[in-house]
Structure 1
Amino acid sequence: MPPEAQQLFGENTESAARFVDLLAERGVERGVIGPREIDRLWGRHVLNSAVLAELIPAEAIVVDVGSGGGFPGVPLALARPDIEVTLLEPMARRIQWLTEVVDELGLTNVVVVRGRAEEKAIRTRLGEADIVTARAVAPLARLAEWCLPLVRAGGLLLALKGASAAEEVQRDASTVRKVGGESIDVVQCGVDVVETPTTVVVIEAGPKPKRTRSRRRRR
Structure 2
Amino acid sequence: MTISNEQLKTYGEEYGFSLTDRMVEQFGTYADTLLEWNQKMNLTAITQPDDIVIKHFLDSLMLLKSVPLQEGSSMIDVGTGAGFPSVPVKIARPDVDLTLLDSLNKRVTFLQALSQALGQENTAIHFRAEEAGRKPEYRERFDIATARAVADLAVLAEYCLPFVKVGGLFIALKGYDCEEEVAGAQKAIQLLGGKLEKVDRYVLPKENKRSVVVIQKISQTPAKYPRPSAKIAKSPL
State the TM-score, normalizing by the size of structure 1: 0.85
Q: Please, which of 38, 52, 56 is the counterpart of residue 45 of structure 1?
A: 56
| Matched-pair contact (CA < 8 Å) for 1:24–1:38 | no
Deviation at 1:77, TM superposition (A): 1.0
| Matched-pair contact (CA < 8 Å) for 1:116–1:122 | no
Specify the code of the residue in structure 2 equivalent to 1:112: A
Deviation at 1:96, TM superposition (A): 0.9
**SS in structure 2 opposite 1:101?**
helix
| Matched-pair contact (CA < 8 Å) for 1:163–1:199 | yes
Number of residue pairs the alignment of both structures matches: 206
More divergent stretch after superposition (153-162 vs 11-20): 11-20
**SS in structure 2 opposite 1:82?**
coil
**SS in structure 2 opposite 1:52?**
helix
* Deviation readout 1:41-61 (Å, 9 max, x if unpaired): 110011110231231222210
Q: Please, which of 179, 188, 196 is the counterpart of residue 175 of structure 1?
A: 188
- Larger-Rg structure: 1
Change over 3 Å in CA distance of 1:210–1:31 after alignment to 2: closer
Runs of 4+ in structure 1 displaced over 4 angstroms? none
Specify the code of the residue in structure 1 equivalent to 2:186: A
Deviation at 1:184, TM superposition (A): 4.1
| Matched-pair contact (CA < 8 Å) for 1:64–1:134 | yes
Determine the C-alpha separation between the residues in 2 that align with 1:137 and 1:125: 27
Q: Please, which of 4, 10, 24 is the counterpart of residue 11 of structure 2?
A: 4
Q: Please, which of 115, 123, 143 is the counterpart of residue 127 of structure 2?
A: 115
Deviation at 1:121, TM superposition (A): 6.6
Structure 2: which 5+ runs fail to align? 224-237
Change over 3 Å in CA distance of 1:77–1:120 after alignment to 2: closer
* Deviation readout 1:58-113 (Å, 9 max, x if unpaired): 221000001101111211111101111111111011011111101111112x2111
Determine if the alignment matches structure 1 residue 26 to structure 2 residue 37: yes
Determine if the alignment matches structure 1 residue 146 to structure 2 residue 159: yes
* Deviation readout 1:131-155 (Å, 9 max, x if unpaired): 1000015211111111111001111
Deviation at 1:199, TM superposition (A): 1.0
Determine if the alignment matches structure 1 residue 131 to structure 2 residue 144: yes
Determine if the alignment matches structure 1 residue 60 to structure 2 residue 70: no
Determine the C-alpha separation between the residues in 2 that align with 1:32 and 1:210: 34
More divergent stretch after superposition (180-189 vs 135-144): 180-189
Specify the code of the residue in structure 1 equivalent to 2:193: G
Q: Please, which of 199, 203, 211 is the counterpart of residue 199 of structure 1?
A: 211
Determine the C-alpha separation between the residues in 1 that align with 2:98 and 2:133: 18
Percent identity over paired residues: 33
Deviation at 1:182, TM superposition (A): 2.3
**SS in structure 2 opposite 1:175?**
helix
What is the Cα-based RMSD across aligned positions, in Å? 2.2
Tell me what 1:69 maps to. Answer: 82
